[in-house]
C-alpha cells in the first residue's frame, strides 16, 4: 500500500473515496461537528475533504492511509473554520446579530447518554482523542498525526479521559469500580 | 459502569449525533478534478482564513449598513412561498421517524426506507437534506422544526397538507397460531391490543379516516382495548393470553415469519396510504408539496421508489398502488 495511486486505476481510486464516505462519513461528520461546525458545514467539510482526497489520488500523490489522511485534513479545516467563526461572530455581535443554535433530536438512551454527557465535560483535547480512538477507530499514532501531537500524548489524553469517565460514571451509579 | 460498557457507548457515538447522508457519486468525483468542490455553504468558498475573514467582515458590515439605513430589519421581503423560502436557504429539513420503517445499524447510524426517500427528494430538489429524527406522534402534533415530514402513518385530512401516498402499508390483525378467528368479526367480545396513536388504533375505534388502497374491514367490537407503546409489547400480551389479538401497522410478513407462535387473520384489514406532510401555516405549502408530488411521480415512473421499497422491505414493492 505504499504507492496506492500508482498500483490502482481510477476506478479503484474512486471506490476508495466512495467507500471511505460510506464507512467513515458518519464519524468524519460527527467529529467535525464536535469541533464546532454546524450540521451543514460539517457535511460540506466531509465532502470537501473527500473531494480533495480524490484530487490528490488522481494527481498521483501517495496516500498510505486515506482514512487517517481524511481525519487529519478535516481537523485542519475545522480548526480554520472555528477560528473564522469566532471572528465572524465578533463582527456580527458588534452589528447586533447573533446566531441560533439548533438542538439535536436524534434518539437514544442508557449508557450512551450517560457516557457522552460525561465526555462533554472533559477537556476538549480529551474529547477529541476519545472520539477519534473509539468512534473513528484510529490508532494513537494516527490520532497524533491528525491532531499534531505525539502518539504518547494522545494515549495519555485517552488514559486520563477514561479514568475520569470511570470515576464519574462509577460514582453516579453507586458502583465502586476503578 | 464497567470499562466495557463505557467503551461500547463510546464506539456507538454520541446519541444526539445527526446522521450523515452519503452523497458522493462517481460522477461527482469524475467532475471534481478540474473544478471546485460542489459545496454550497460559505465554508468551502474561501481558499484561506485571511480571505474568509476579510470577506465575511465586509459582507456582514455592508449588509448591516444597508439594512440599518433602509430600516429593513423587520420588513425585509421574504420569499413568497415556502418552496421559494427553502430554495433560497439551500437546505430542506425533513423529519423522519427513528423507528420503523427505519432501522438503527450498529454504531448508531439510522437507515431505512424513509431515510432513502427523504434523501432522494432532497437530491432531486437540488437541496441539501437535513434529517430530523422525530417520533411520529411528535410530527403529527406539529412539533419540530422541519419543512416536510414522513410520519409513515395514515394522516387524517385537515391539519396537514399532504402529498399522494408514496407507499401503502398493509395493516394486519394478528392472533395466536392456535386461534380459530377467521376475520375481525370473530374477535368481537375479546380483548385486543393496539399501539397508541397508530392507524390500527383509529380503525379499532371506528375513526380511521386515512386513505386505503384495499377495502377497510369492519372493525370488531372488543370487550376491551389495550393501548400499548409498541407492537412487541402487544405481542407479549397476546402470547401471554392477556389479549386475543393485536393490530399492527408496523410488522411486515418477515417480522411475522420470525414469530411462529403468531399468525395473520386473513388479508390486510386496510392498507394505509402514507404521504409526505407539511404543516399548513402562514406560507402556503401547496407549491412545495406539488413539487414533491412531481418528484415522487418521477421516482415511481423511473423505478426508483420501487427499488428503494424492495431493498428495504425484503423484496416487496409497497409503492405500486398509490391511489385509493
Q: According to the model, what pLDDT value does residue B295 have?
A: 93
Locus of grid cell 407507499: B167
Residue bearing the bigger pLDDT, B96 or B41: B96
**For the segment B155-186, what is each residue's pLDDT rounded down to a tens digit?**
877 778 999 899 999 999 999 999 999 999 99
**For the segment B218-254, what is each residue's pLDDT rounded down to a tens digit?**
999 999 999 998 898 999 999 999 999 999 988 888 7
Determine the Cα–Cα distance for residues B103 and B62; give it in Å rounded to an integer.
47
Q: Which residue of B has its CA nearest to A102?
A: B145
Q: According to the model, what pLDDT value does residue B233 have?
A: 92
Q: According to the model, what pLDDT value does residue A93 have?
A: 53
Determine the Cα–Cα distance for residues A130 and B14; give it in Å rounded to an integer.
11
- What mean pLDDT is reported for chain B? 80
How confident is chain A (178 residues) per 10-residue block, as mean pLDDT?
47 79 85 83 87 85 86 86 60 44 41 87 92 90 90 93 90 44
Nearest to B186 by CA among B266, B261, B263: B266
Helices B3-12 + A151-172 axis angle, to 10: 110
Q: According to the model, what pLDDT value does residue B223 have?
A: 93
Locus of grid cell 388502497: B213
C-alpha cell at B166: 408514496
Residue bearing the bigger pLDDT, B54 or B91: B91
Q: Which residue of B has its CA nearest to A176?
A: B1
Which residues of chain A have a CB within 8 Å of the CB of B40? Answer: 44
* Mean pLDDT for the stretch of residues B201-215: 84
Which residues of chain B have a CB within 8 Å of the CB of A27? Answer: 13
Locus of grid cell 379516516: B209
ipTM: 0.74
- Specify the DSSP class assigned to residue B185: G
Determine the Cα–Cα distance for residues A126 and A145; give it in Å rounded to an integer.
15
Nearest to B200 by CA among B220, B223, B180: B220
Instruction: Enter the pTM of the model.
Output: 0.49
Q: b vs e for B190-212, b when ≥16 Cβ sit within 10 Å of the residue's Cβ?
A: bbbbbbebbbbbbbbeeebebbb
Using the Cβ of A37 and the Cβ atoms of chain B, whether some distance falls under 8 Å is answered with: yes
Is B211's pLDDT higher than 60? yes
Q: Which residue of A has its CA nearest to B20?
A: A26
Considering only residues 111 to 140 of chain A, which have any Cβ-Cβ distance to chain B shorter than 8 Å?
111-116, 119, 130, 133-135, 137
Residue bearing the bigger pLDDT, B59 or A126: A126
Nearest to A49 by CA among B297, B62, B44: B44
Determine the Cα–Cα distance for residues B275 and B117; give it in Å rounded to an integer.
11
% of chain B surpassing 70 pLDDT? 80
Q: Are B191 and B287 in contact (CB under 8 A)?
A: no
Q: Are B240 and B206 in contact (CB under 8 A)?
A: no
For β-strands B245-248 and B167-176, DSSP reports them as antiparallel
Q: How many CA atoms lie within 13 A of B198 on its CB side?
A: 28
End-to-end CA distance of chain A: 41
* Mean pLDDT for the stretch of residues B20-39: 62
**For the segment B294-324, what is each residue's pLDDT rounded down to a tens digit?**
999 999 988 999 999 988 887 888 987 644 3
Determine the Cα–Cα distance for residues B69 and B72; give it in Å rounded to an integer.
8
Q: Are A34 and A131 in contact (CB under 8 A)?
A: yes
C-alpha cell at B143: 412539533
- Specify the DSSP class assigned to residue B69: H
Task: Judge: A48–B8 Cβ closer than 8 Å, yes or no.
Answer: no
Which residues of chain B have a CB within 8 Å of the CB of A162? Answer: 3, 6
Quick one: three-class SS letters along A1-32? CCCHHHHCCHHHHHHHHHHHHHHHHHHHHHHH
3-class secondary structure, B226: strand
The total of other beta-carbon atoms located within 10 Å of residue B174's CB is: 23
Lowest average pLDDT, out of A36-40, A75-79, B18-22, B191-195, goes to: B18-22
Determine the Cα–Cα distance for residues B200 and B193; give it in Å rounded to an integer.
10
**For the segment B64-110, what is each residue's pLDDT rounded down to a tens digit?**
444 444 444 334 444 457 888 888 888 999 999 888 777 665 556 67
The total of other beta-carbon atoms located within 10 Å of residue B172's CB is: 27
Determine the Cα–Cα distance for residues B17 and B116; give it in Å rounded to an integer.
18
Could you give phi then psi for residue A8, rounded to 5 degrees?
-100, 145
B133: enclosing H helix or E strand: strand B128-133
C-alpha cell at A38: 454546524
Considering only residues 69 to 108 of chain A, which have any Cβ-Cβ distance to chain B shorter than 8 Å?
80-81, 83-84, 87-88, 91-92, 95-97, 102, 104-108
Determine the Cα–Cα distance for residues B89 and B41; give it in Å rounded to an integer.
10
3-class secondary structure, A38: coil
Q: Report residue B19 CA to chain centroid gap.
A: 14
Amino acid at each position: 500500500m505504499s504507492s496506492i495511486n500508482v498500483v490502482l486505476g481510477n476506478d479503484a481510486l474512486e471506490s476508495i473515496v466512495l467507500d471511505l464516505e460510506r464507512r467513515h462519513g458518519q464519524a468524519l461528520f460527527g467529529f467535525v461537528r464536535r469541533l464546532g461546525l454546524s450540521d451543514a458545514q460539517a457535511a460540506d467539510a466531509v465532502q470537501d475533504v473527500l473531494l480533495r482526497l480524490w484530487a490528490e489520488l488522481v494527481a498521483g500523490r501517495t496516500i498510505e492511509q486515506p482514512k487517517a489522511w481524511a481525519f487529519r485534513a478535516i481537523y485542519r479545516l475545522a480548526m480554520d473554520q472555528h477560528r473564522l467563526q469566532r471572528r465572524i461572530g465578533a463582527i456580527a455581535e458588534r452589528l447586533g446579530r447573533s446566531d441560533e443554535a439548533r438542538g439535536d433530536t436524534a434518539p437514544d438512551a442508557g449508557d450512551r447518554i450517560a457516557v457522552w454527557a460525561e465526555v462533554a465535560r472533559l477537556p476538549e483535547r480529551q474529547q477529541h482523542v476519545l472520539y477519534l480512538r473509539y468512534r473513528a477507530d484510529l490508532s494513537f499514532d494516527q490520532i497524533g498525526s491528525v491532531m499534531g501531537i505525539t502518539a504518547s500524548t494522545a494515549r495519555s489524553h485517552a488514559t486520563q479521559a477514561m479514568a475520569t469517565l470511570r470515576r464519574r460514571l462509577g460514582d453516579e451509579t453507586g458502583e465502586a469500580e476503578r | 459502569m464497567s470499562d466495557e460498557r463505557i467503551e461500547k457507548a463510546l464506539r456507538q457515538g454520541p446519541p444526539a449525533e445527526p446522521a450523515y447522508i452519503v452523497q458522493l457519486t462517481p460522477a461527482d468525483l469524475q467532475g471534481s478534478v478540474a473544478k471546485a468542490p460542489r459545496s454550497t455553504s460559505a465554508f468551502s468558498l474561501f481558499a484561506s482564513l485571511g480571505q474568509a475573514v476579510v470577506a465575511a467582515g465586509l459582507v456582514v458590515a455592508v449588509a448591516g449598513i444597508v439594512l440599518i439605513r433602509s430600516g429593513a430589519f423587520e420588513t425585509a421581503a421574504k420569499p413568497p412561498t415556502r418552496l421559494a423560502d427553502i430554495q433560497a436557504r439551500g437546505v430542506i429539513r425533513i423529519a423522519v421517524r427513528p423507528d420503523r420503517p427505519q432501522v438503527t445499524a450498529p454504531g448508531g447510524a439510522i437507515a431505512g426506507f424513509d431515510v432513502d426517500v427523504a434523501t432522494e427528494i432532497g437530491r432531486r430538489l437540488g437541496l441539501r437534506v437535513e434529517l430530523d429524527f422525530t417520533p411520529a406522534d411528535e410530527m403529527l402534533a406539529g412539533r419540530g422544526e422541519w419543512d416536510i415530514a414522513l410520519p409513515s402513518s395514515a394522516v387524517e385530512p385537515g391539519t396537514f397538507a399532504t402529498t399522494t401516498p408514496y407507499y401503502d402499508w398493509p395493516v394486519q390483525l394478528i392472533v395466536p397460531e392456535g386461534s380459530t378467528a377467521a376475520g375481525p368479526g370473530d374477535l368481537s367480545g375479546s380483548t385486543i391490543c393496539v399501539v397508541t396513536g397508530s392507524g390500527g388504533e383509529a380503525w379499532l375505534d371506528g375513526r380511521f379516516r386515512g386513505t386505503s388502497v384495499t377495502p377497510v374491514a369492519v372493525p370488531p367490537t372488543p370487550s376491551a382495548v389495550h393501548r400499548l407503546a409498541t407492537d412487541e409489547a402487544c405481542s407479549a400480551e397476546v402470547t401471554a393470553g392477556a389479549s386475543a389479538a393485536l393490530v399492527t401497522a408496523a410488522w411486515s410478513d418477515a417480522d411475522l415469519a420470525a414469530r411462529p407462535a403468531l399468525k395473520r387473520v386473513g388479508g390486510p384489514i386496510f392498507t394505509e396510504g402514507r404521504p409526505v406532510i407539511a404543516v399548513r401555516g402562514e406560507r402556503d405549502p401547496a407549491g412545495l408539496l406539488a413539487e414533491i408530488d412531481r418528484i415522487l411521480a418521477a421516482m415511481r415512473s423511473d423505478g426508483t421508489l420501487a427499488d428503494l421499497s424492495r431493498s428495504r422491505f425484503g423484496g416487496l414493492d409497497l409503492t405500486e398502488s398509490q391511489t385509493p
